[in-house]
Structure 1
């Protein structure tokens, strides 16, 4: 209970900011402007979304309200997936902390990995979507591309000072409360599961699995990174200690990237948000991309 309360308190400011931005966008009508930022050439959208995701300060949970709004408004899943995959891997504060704990080379590699993973996932989804698949990614009741798509196609006036309009104020509070309850429910469950994992998964077992060199530890680190990942900041000292004991740099990179994208809070929130096929595609892209990134980083550090 203490673990859950502490983690909810830690993530509350970031979630409050995300929920506030999403509710403000809905109340002012600026959500249409956000969606139109993800319009244009599919390839350009994917590149821009991956770059913005790699530089944004959103964590894997804090980005969920924005993702839900974009998907509900009919923004292509390829661009959203690019943003979604890149966003939790790196942000400005994470870059500074990674450079301090693991070195500037590791920080630069992780930043490149975030953008590359987003681009990779975006183009895979774009290829699948071109064949007619993944046309309706959201779960029933979460939203759809119908009326939301109209916001993208139809230019409507944006009322930035919405508090003078009672209807818009009501919408602000309605959207904010709805999103907060949605996230609080799933994050509480996620942190309960994480607390049980920390209690029953010995740290020395993780160290023994991730030790050694070659491709095998990178593959193991990719798989272990999903359930054993704590959070972006707590994982850095762990990886630093493991690398000091002989863990390959590629395995450390794969662990951080895979765990960051598919951590328990993020995965549970994604499961609640999108249909099963999109969820498993998201996990597959995260695991495959993280493994390839780990191998490439291992080759880079060996040069």
Structure 2
């Protein structure tokens, strides 16, 4: 027992792991070792078995992210969002669901597009859809929950993006939601759009090779640290959360669990890499699939990084619209998925 505790403490002194996620992971292991030593071994075995299943998805998603970064294919997104509104809103929603940008990583691109004069309607469609799903999250969700769940979540991102885009279009036609960016953002946003055309065969240039390697390593470490914490928490759910409580609170045939999951998802959602395994385990314990879907969509759009980024660049009316779409859209799609499943 003492050797385990001292080993974990020494491991924590490594500067690489002196950050919030690893700190939370190590403290959780320490707490288990102190209060329930038998559970420590069970949790470690659980994490190991789960990682074996999910490693191919981590590798695939990391390579996709790195390829887009090395080729600078993100410049295509800004260019695709200019033109006829009916076309670009659909394009923006689909790009948002398929783009590899995280909740906060998409904000500089959003600010740049608005500063370029791209209308808010397609930008909002992209803005709403992007935090819900991306190629990395799609693969992880498919591996942890199911392919059907991941596909419906991606479709939900597109539908919510379309709804948000058209809502903005009609609101602006009526004189609302004008001048979305804060004045302090507009001045610097133009610096973000000066990018080269995509270089698909990036391996011919040494600098792009280095970007590819760096991005692959970065995203794999990001996924590994968040998933380590997620799988540890999942193992504790399996051990300590009664199935009867989950089934009673978020199960059944009514729409109340979906509504509660939507509302709870706004403040409780921390990170998709943590939320997906937890929701998968809760569904196994009796949670409505629709409630799990609503939680992940609402939480993804209103996660702490996403909301901090939105508040930083957008006026208050845009922030309120953004949160409103998250709540209404997530609940509606949760009900639809529950009826489907």
Q: Which residue of 1 is the match for residue 126 of structure 2? A: 83
Larger Rg: 2
1:272 to 312, 318, 323: 312
Q: Is the 8 A contact 1:210 1:221 kept in 2?
A: no
Is 2:101 the partner of 1:61?
A: no
Residue 36 (structure 1) shift: 4.2
Instruction: Rate the CA distance shift 1:293–1:83 in 2: closer, same or farther, 3 A.
Output: same
Q: 1:207 to 1:66 in 2, by over 3 A?
A: farther
Are 1:41 and 2:84 an aligned pair? yes
Does residue 211 (structure 1) correspond to residue 250 (structure 2)? The answer is yes
Unaligned runs of 5+ in 2: 1-17, 25-61, 198-232
How far apart are 1:72 and its partner, in Å? 1.5
The answer to whether structure 1 residue 125 and structure 2 residue 168 are counterparts is yes
Decide whether the 8 Å contact of 1:209 with 1:220 is kept in 2: no
What is the RMSD computed on CA atoms of the aligned residues?
A: 3.5
Give yes or no for the alignment of 1:142 onto 2:185: yes
Unpaired stretches in structure 1, ≥5 consecutive residues = 8-12, 161-197
Instruction: Tell me if the contact between 1:209 and 1:217 (Cα under 8 Å) persists in the aligned partners.
Output: no
- Note if 1:99 corresponds to 2:142: yes
**Aligned partners of 1:141, 1:118: CA distance in 2, in Å?**
26
TM score, norm. by length of structure 2:
0.62
Deviations 1:197-231 (A, max 9, x none): x9xxx996995895222200101100101111121
Aligned to 1:179: none
Compared CA separation, residues 263 and 158, structure 1 to 2 (3 A)? closer
- Measured in 1, the distance between the counterparts of 2:309 and 2:99 equals 19
> Is the Cα contact below 8 Å between 1:138 and 1:144 reproduced in 2?
no
Question: TM-score of the superposition, structure 1-length normalised?
Answer: 0.69
Measured after TM superposition, the shift of residue 232 of structure 1 is 1.3
Structure 1, residues 53-72: CA drift from partner, whole Å, max 9, x if none? 11111111111111111112
Residue 3 (structure 1) aligned to one of 20, 23, 29: 20
